Structure 1
């Protein structure tokens, strides 16, 4: 699953991403990030409205040391195929890594 989180009051999407990454994977360093797509929808099961801002970083470095073990139990670099993904994560994978 891709990292996720919620914006705080007055926080930009980019600042939220940086904060969430630093909380969940504090040793990970990201290069410049670019907003790739904004996706809005409704969860089919819960009916909850969702809004995702999807960023792409050209470079990532550092170990995947977990910061908050209540939110993440394991982190690993994986190839984009052969793993179970959420619909949003699958959409991102298929757009960036077509078959």
Structure 2
């Protein structure tokens, strides 16, 4: 079981990203699991906390990432989910943690190490 869950949502060639207030790095939305919480339950709770007006269609597990980041040495343990449909405004719920949410191309932006890893696997350079 992964330690956290992340959401990959794509709309018209753009991905959904949120910016962490602490270090101003962008990431795919999601967060850490609570005890006895499934990966999917974690994802739905985190999305509801971070982006409460966002409606998710069916989500499916793309991959469970267990790896060590070569740059930082940090261990990654994430369940990565893909949503085919999303709707609703990008209203921020947890303003202490997240300060902005956008739809944009996944390149040319400062991402967290885990989000960079996922981006490089799902959206390789052409």
- Tell me, what secondary structure is at the counterpart of 1:15? helix
Aligned to 1:53: 79
1:85–1:55 distance in 2 versus 1, CA, 3 Å? same
1:73 aligns with 2:90: no
Aligned to 1:15: 41
Normalising by structure 2, we get a TM-score of 0.70
Give 1:42 shift: 3.5
Residue in structure 2 matching 1:27, options 50, 53, 70: 53
Gaps of 5+ in 2: 1-26
The Cα offsets for residues 7-50 of structure 1, whole Å up to 9 and x where unpaired, read as 111110000000000001000111111100111134564x5543
1:49–1:81 distance in 2 versus 1, CA, 3 Å? closer
Distance 1:4 1:23 in 2: 9
- Tell me, what secondary structure is at the counterpart of 1:70? coil
Q: RMSD of the alignment, in Å?
A: 1.7
Query: After alignment, is 52-61 or 86-95 more displaced?
Result: 86-95
- Tell me, what secondary structure is at the counterpart of 1:37? strand
Distance 2:117 2:55 in 1: 24
Give 1:54 shift: 0.4
Count, aligned residues: 98
Gaps of 5+ in 1: none
